[in-house]
Amino acid sequence: MNFGKQFLASLLGSTLALVIAGSLLIFIFVGALVGGLASAFEGATDGSEMDLDFGGDIEEGSVLLLTFDAPLAERGMELPFTLQFGSMEPQTQMGLNHFLADMERAADDDDIEGILVQADMISGYPSMLGEVRDALAQFKASGKWIVAWSEIYTQGAYWMATVADEVYLHPEGGMDMRGMGMETTFYKRMLEDLGVEMTVVRGPDNTYKSAVEPYLRNDLSEANKEQLMALLEDFWARMGGDIAAARGMTMDELDGHINNLSIRIPSDALELGFVDGLMYEDELHAMLLEKGAAEDEDEPSHALLAGYGQYHNPNSFEDLIQELQVELGAGDEDDEEDDEAEDDEDSAANAVAVVYAVGAIQSGEGDDATIGSDRIAGALRDARLDPEVGAVVLRVNSPGGSALASDVIWRETVLLREAGKPLVASMSDLAASGGYYISCAADHILAQPNTITGSIGVFGVLPSAGKLLNERIGLDFDGVKLHDHADAVSMHTPIQGQALAAINESVTKIYDSFIGRVAEGRGMSIEAVDAVARGRVWTGQDAMEKGLVDGMGNLQDAIEMAADMASLDEFDMIEYPEPIDPFEQFIAEFTGVAQMATMAEAAGVPEDAIQAMMEVEAFVNLQAKDRVQARLPFHIRVY
């Protein structure tokens, strides 16, 4: 018992010290940040190199350089980077919305001669990467060229590279073409060793609702293997099909090379037709100059390259400084938007609102990486009440989450339709379980062929840490109760008997409500929805065949469809919700739980293992009202 008291006292003291120290360090850090950026800017004006691309004018004859070394996000940041607490290093990101618009602009930009794709690896789901590749294909269709070159190609990077007119590899480089697979992390033994027992309840016949398997099993069930193999087959149909078509192969030939590990050295890639040549970087630049690229004055015999960040926002550094000045009270907020709003109060509906719903679904406010029911429902409400908005696109990229929070958001989509404003759901990488829940009431649903959707089912997990608390920490519990089940849901006693039966009934009711919402939104019978539900995951293409999706299309297709449904010939775009201020986000991470991941990383724990542990920790600590979940398996890695 003394150990427990010392442990709690130490924890409390450490937390208070961290908050106090953090508050002091924030002021020190901000001063250093502004001074450091100013110094960096001075260095940049002197011609010195910088790790970050802070912009500058795009010159005629430039080649747009795409490295894809920043993570892809649905909506990009307006500032060039954010700062991470652990390393104090800047982190950039590429927004899909920005990229699609920039590729259209680059196709018509006389200063852009062509594109160089120089990507070693690209991470992400096939759906969003497919939209990026399609945008590059449209750029090439404008008559401009694309060249791909890299020292090493991973499978995803090579898929992106094959959109190019010519694909080259470093003479001493390599290609990692091992095919596709999926891996799931299981927590059952770890939780047992810790002394945590998980009680799991699922909706009726939710055989495919595999999100609970990591707590019940040490391997995949046959039903889960079935649906995951179906996903892989559809993923490869798109990715492998693009590669085979671009390189003049059949799918059988491509699969044969992969299964035989035929590409072992660079010359294999050339002989088998995977690349058009082997060349060093100086040879690459000589070729780009022959294609019409301008020469870089600072690097003779090198083509003039424009980084993507520079092309997207040439004034990004000035924007960053202005934002910091505003945050620190040294600048004034721009009041022009308020004046414009007053001038346009009586204007007719002439805008399409895009509401971004990205991340796991939870009750509360959420942030740019999680779907908070209050924030997203509020965004939909704002779009409904805004007289300038004529139609709405709900862009969903979510594995699901809280069933209750999903229903809160769903209600706002229904009210939006009742208000007479067309609603189009645009599915990205994931729109599964709760992600499908919030989409199902839309007038029209568009997905990508490789979107992961469906997973219509629910489950609940009730952890019991009695063994951990009693045997590992030394805590004992006793008490009194007035009613029979007052202590039914306790962290130290597994739920059972009548209380467990009551929770099972509640989960069944939520599942019935879920399939009822889908039936209403899709114009299907309850029986027809149940037949394709039961937690089964579908790709976008399969979901269309099952009646869960109306058609295939990307975000731009959804926007144009919504505008057409609202009879808007010319329209503006409004994005909801307002992005989280990057400065506020940094402060939150500075005093939050990000330190845990930083320390684990410093100790050498792999990144995917850290993610898995953080997901388990987050789920064990769910709010009581979010206990019933409608979501995908927590940690699937596609490789």
Give the CATH number, domain containing residue 89: 3.90.226.10
Considering the domain boundaries, does residue 226 fall inside one?
A: no
Task: State phi, psi for 457 to the nearest 5 degrees.
Answer: -175, 170
Mean per-residue pLDDT for 341-366?
79
3-class SS shares of the chain: helix, strand, coil, % to 5? 45, 20, 35
Using H for helix, E for strand and C for coil, what is the string for 269-321?
HHHCCCCCEECCHHHHHHHHHHCCCCECCCCCCCECEEEHHHHHCCCHHHHHH
**Is the domain of 22 the same as that of 163?**
no
Domain boundary among 300, 318, 336: 318
Number of domains in the chain: 3
Considering the domain boundaries, does residue 387 fall inside one?
A: yes
pLDDT averaged over every residue in the chain: 80
Residue span of the structural domain in which 288 resides: 54-177+263-318
Largest CA distance in the chain: 86
Domain boundary among 318, 340, 356: 318
**Is the domain of 21 the same as that of 59?**
no
Task: Give the 3-state secondary structure of residue 496.
Answer: coil
**Is the domain of 39 the same as that of 150?**
no
pTM for the predicted model, two decimal places: 0.76
**Is the domain of 446 the same as that of 414?**
yes
Mean per-residue pLDDT for 299-328?
72
Considering the domain boundaries, does residue 201 fall inside one?
A: no
Residue 424 belongs to what H/E stretch? Answer: strand 423-432
Least confident of 97-106, 174-183, 473-482, 537-546: 473-482
Considering the domain boundaries, does residue 9 fall inside one?
A: yes
Considering the domain boundaries, does residue 215 fall inside one?
A: no
**Is the domain of 11 the same as that of 89?**
no
Considering the domain boundaries, does residue 480 fall inside one?
A: no
- pLDDT above 90: percentage of residues in the chain: 48
**Is the domain of 416 the same as that of 505?**
yes
Whether pLDDT at 540 is above 60 = yes
Per the model's pLDDT, the better-predicted residue between 578 and 379 turns out to be 379
Angle formed by the axes of helices 403-418 and 497-522, nearest 10°: 30
**Is the domain of 537 the same as that of 421?**
yes
One-letter amino acid at 143 equals G
State the pLDDT confidence band at 173, using cuts at 50, 70 and 90.
very high
Considering the domain boundaries, does residue 594 fall inside one?
A: no
Q: What is the pLDDT of residue 195?
A: 84
**Is the domain of 443 the same as that of 554?**
yes
Q: How many helices (H) and strands (E) does the chain have?
A: 24, 27
Q: Please report, for residues 127, 245, 439, the alpha-carbon distance to residue 234 in angstroms, rounded to integers and kept in the order given.
A: 11, 16, 22
State the pLDDT confidence band at 11, using cuts at 50, 70 and 90.
very low
Tens digits of per-residue pLDDT, 489-513? 777 778 888 888 888 888 888 889 9
Q: What is the pLDDT of residue 553?
A: 95
Task: Transcribe 355-372 into DSSP letters.
Answer: EEEESEEESS-EETTEEE
Dist CA 125 CA 136 (whole Å) = 17
Residue 240 belongs to what H/E stretch? Answer: helix 222-247
**Is the domain of 301 the same as that of 282?**
yes
**Is the domain of 532 the same as that of 630?**
yes
Tens digits of per-residue pLDDT, 45-60? 333 333 444 445 789 9
**Is the domain of 137 the same as that of 4?**
no
Per the model's pLDDT, the better-predicted residue between 304 and 333 turns out to be 304
Per the model's pLDDT, the better-predicted residue between 415 and 471 turns out to be 415
Whether pLDDT at 27 is above 50 = no
Considering the domain boundaries, does residue 248 fall inside one?
A: no
Q: Please report, for residues 75, 81, 459, 519, the alpha-carbon distance to residue 506 in angstroms, rounded to integers and kept in the order given.
A: 37, 45, 10, 20
**Is the domain of 534 the same as that of 576?**
yes
One-letter amino acid at 270 equals L
Strand pairing class (94-95; 72-73): parallel
